[in-house]
A = this chain, B = another copy of it.
Amino acid sequence: MTPFKLTDELLAEIELLIESRKDTALKSLMEEIHYADIAEIANDLSEDSATYLIKLLNSDKTSDVLIELDDDVREAILNNMSSKEIAGELDELDTDDAADIIGELPQEIVEEVISEIEDREHARDIVDLLRYHENSAGGLMAKELVKVNENWNVLTCVKEMRAQAENVTRVHSIYVVDDDDKLKGRLSLKDLLTTSTKSPIKDIYIPKVDRVNVNEKPEEVAKIMSKYDLEAIPVVDEIGRLVGRITIDDIVDVIKEEAEKDYQLAAGISQDVEADDSIWELTRARLPWLFLGLMGGIGAAAIMGGFEEMISKHAILFFFTPLIAAMAGNVGVQSSAIIVQGLANDDLKGSISNRLIKEMLLAALNGIILAMVLLLFTWFWKGNFPAAVAISISLVVVIVVAGIIGTFIPLFLNKRGIDPAIATGPFITTSNDIFGILIYFWIAKVILGI
């Protein structure tokens, strides 16, 4: 299979079919295309064309496409659908996806949409899910799962399972609960099939089963599932009752979103934006960090203004401020990135002071190597040996301080319960610029005795 690639030609062809209302040709073309790819197409069409295309699909494809659409496109399409039509799509979807869509609907139509859902048990499950916070295991889980009572025997169990499995796309595990619905363990399909039909489930289930609490953070669930290679995990409430199940495909999305968010924060982009968003959205995501950088630059200028009398004697010092600032920024970003990643992977051990000592040694080693190169260059360039020494010594000190700041800030934020990823990128660069320049001129002043 060559993966589907949305070409400009295909898009133009589809636009044309829609405009000329060639429904039959359009339908048979869509037959061949996976719903995730249809969503990709619809994301690139005009609002009207996308709505037209999606209304043309048969219903279980429509609902799958809806879930895959970009938020704004989905909103536009749902705006053009009646409550009954929306309910019809929700009927086709798993409870977690249906709840996500309801969460995006305008408040005033939510009740109406829910009342139009035909399968009332499905509707109840969806309403249950609405209660959980988006940023929790409860907000990720689906109600679709296969569970059996520990007091049943194998025969009852198999019968019940068949009925339940109808609604579950993929059966990963059969969960065992007690009369209070508390999760007791899981059942292997093999044991079920090889045991006498009269055996009580109690005697054959596996009492050990990984689980997460309904309030657990999605990132934690992702860590657990990827560490233990789980494809599904049951979710329990505060008193241990089985309330849902999270599958690996949702976790893959969590992992990707987390990674994108951290990457964007490191690059100084504060909201979830894409290259195709509007200039206005991109400005809102980028300008605040640039403004921070501007303030940092103004601060640096003010500091340098305080050393103005040095200019007449050692103009060369001023030529190296961009170098000092850049190195302080680079080292700060490097050390903070390593700490942020270590925190995210839970593999930082040892105390904060040990970390700081290690980073100091590392920064000093790198700093000394770089300073020697710089010393030779500056000395030969202007023949001003004292200034060359001052610049090189400053570089070592600045790099060490930058490394310490870069190590300390994310550890500190993490201790305070703040996402350490915000400490990477412009934040660390800007603060290191200022510290770096301040240290630089101060050391130069001491060494050169001005």
Interface residues of chain A, those whose CB is within 8 Å of chain B, are 1, 3, 6, 8, 34, 36, 40, 44, 170, 210-213, 220, 223-224, 226-229, 231, 248-249, 251-253, 255-256, 259-260, 262-264, 266-269, 273-276, 279, 282-283, 286-287, 289-291, 293-294, 296-298, 300-302, 304-305, 308, 311, 315-316, 318-327, 329-331, 333-334, 336-339, 341-342, 345, 347-349, 355, 358, 361-362, 365-366, 369-370, 373-374, 377-378, 381-382, 399, 424-426, 429-430, 433, 437
For the complex formed, measure the closest distance between the CB of A137 and the CB atoms of chain B, giving whole angstroms.
11
**B366 and A287 form a contact (CB under 8 A):** yes
Which residue of chain B has the shortest Cβ distance to A287 in the bound complex?
B366
Q: A347 contacts which chain B residues (CB < 8 A)?
A: 40, 274-276
Which residue of chain B has the shortest Cβ distance to A325 in the bound complex?
B322
Q: A289 contacts which chain B residues (CB < 8 A)?
A: 330, 334
**B249 and A252 form a contact (CB under 8 A):** no
**A220 and B3 form a contact (CB under 8 A):** yes
For the complex formed, measure the closest distance between the CB of A291 and the CB atoms of chain B, giving whole angstroms.
7
Choice from B210, B262, B316 contacting A263 with Cβ under 8 Å: B262
**A319 and B348 form a contact (CB under 8 A):** no
Q: A308 contacts which chain B residues (CB < 8 A)?
A: 315
Most chain B C-beta atoms within 10 Å of own C-beta, residue among A266, A279, A319: A319
Choice from B3, B338, B366 contacting A274 with Cβ under 8 Å: B338
Choice from B259, B269, B274, B366 contacting A334 with Cβ under 8 Å: B269
Cα(A196)–Cα(B46), bound, Å: 49
**A370 and B291 form a contact (CB under 8 A):** yes
**A269 and B433 form a contact (CB under 8 A):** no
Which residue of chain B has the shortest Cβ distance to A320 in the bound complex?
B301
Cα(A224)–Cα(B249), bound, Å: 12
Chain A residues touching B, majority SS:
helix
Q: A374 contacts which chain B residues (CB < 8 A)?
A: 294, 298
Q: A220 contacts which chain B residues (CB < 8 A)?
A: 3
Mind listing 23 A-B residue pairs with CB under 8 Å?
Answer: A1-B210, A1-B213, A3-B220, A3-B227, A170-B231, A248-B252, A252-B255, A255-B255, A255-B259, A256-B259, A263-B263, A263-B266, A266-B337, A267-B338, A273-B338, A275-B342, A275-B348, A276-B347, A289-B330, A289-B334, A300-B323, A318-B321, A322-B437
**A249 and B269 form a contact (CB under 8 A):** no
Q: A316 contacts which chain B residues (CB < 8 A)?
A: 301, 305
Q: A321 contacts which chain B residues (CB < 8 A)?
A: 318, 321-322
**B256 and A290 form a contact (CB under 8 A):** no
Cα(A80)–Cα(B429), bound, Å: 46
Q: A433 contacts which chain B residues (CB < 8 A)?
A: 322, 326
Q: A365 contacts which chain B residues (CB < 8 A)?
A: 279, 283
**A305 and B319 form a contact (CB under 8 A):** yes
Which residue of chain B has the shortest Cβ distance to A371 in the bound complex?
B294
**B311 and A323 form a contact (CB under 8 A):** no
Cα(A336)–Cα(B269), bound, Å: 11
**Which 3 residue pairs spanning A and B have beta carbons closest together?**
A297-B323, A267-B337, A259-B259
A3-B224, A255-B255, A366-B290 are contacts. A297–B263 as well, Cβ < 8 Å?
no
Q: A348 contacts which chain B residues (CB < 8 A)?
A: 275-276
A326-B429, A358-B279, A429-B329 are contacts. A301–B319 as well, Cβ < 8 Å?
yes
Which residue of chain B has the shortest Cβ distance to A311 in the bound complex?
B315
A252-B255, A323-B297, A373-B294 are contacts. A337–B264 as well, Cβ < 8 Å?
yes
